[in-house]
């Protein structure tokens, strides 16, 4: 069990990690490494999602668990939109297939439109988390 200070520090760290990983995604895109950019977009959204869960005392033990807990705790209540949860699931699928499946490469037209959606998702989560931290 985390103390309040430990929880707050971990939440802030995960949000920082989300931002840093979003920059990594952008760097990968600039070099036309679209499969790697999709991977980093997923992790950016994942870190932000895990920060939100930690902030609210929700435990998830896997990547699928994070997606499921976002649905159960935030989509159901209308805090996170269904389309935002679908984005997270889509990014996870892209990351898994890009990492583990043979002959799968993501391309600019598939990945580039996701940047703005991920940026907006992270902004929303930061707003939700920071409203509780302050």
Under the banding of pLDDT at 50, 70 and 90, the label for residue 2 is confident
- Split into its structural domains, the chain has a count of 1
| Non-local CB neighbours of 116 within 8 Å, separated by 6+ positions | none
pTM (two decimals): 0.95
The pair of three-digit structure tokens given for residue 117, joined into one six-digit string: 């959606």
pLDDT band at 15 (very low <50, low <70, confident <90, very high): very high
In this predicted structure, the answer to whether residue 133 has a pLDDT above a threshold of 80 is no
DSSP the chain: ---HHHHHHHHHHHHHHHHHHHHHHHHHHHTT-HHHHHHHHHHHHHHHHHHHHHHTT----SHHHHHHHHIIIIITTTSS-HHHHHHHHHHHHHHHHHHHSTT----HHHHTTHHHHHHHHHHHHHHHHHHHH-
pLDDT tens-digit series, residues 106-119: 999 999 999 999 99
Q: What is the pLDDT of residues 20-44, one digit of tens each?
A: 999 999 999 999 999 999 999 999 9
The overall average pLDDT reported for the chain is 95
What is the CATH number for 79?
1.20.120.330
pLDDT value for 132: 75
- For residue 28, the tally of other CB atoms under 10 A from its CB is 19
* pLDDT bucket at 131, cuts 50 / 70 / 90: confident
Whole-Å CA distances, 134 to 41, 74, 126, 128: 27, 20, 12, 11
Range of the domain at 49: 4-133
């Amino acid at each position: 069990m985390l103390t309040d200070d430990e929880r707050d520090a971990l939440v802030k760290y995960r949000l920082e990690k989300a931002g840093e990983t979003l920059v990594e995604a952008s760097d990968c895109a600039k070099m036309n490494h679209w499969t790697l950019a999709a991977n980093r977009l997923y992790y950016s959204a994942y870190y932000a999602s895990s920060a939100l869960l930690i902030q609210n005392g929700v435990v998830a033990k896997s990547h699928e668990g994070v997606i499921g807990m976002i649905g159960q705790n935030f989509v159901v209540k209308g805090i996170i939109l269904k389309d935002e949860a679908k984005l997270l699931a889509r990014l996870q699928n892209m990351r898994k297939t890009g990492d583990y499946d043979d002959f799968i490469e993501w391309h600019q037209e598939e990945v580039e439109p996701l940047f703005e959606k991920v940026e907006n998702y992270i902004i929303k989560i930061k707003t939700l988390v920071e409203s509780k931290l302050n």
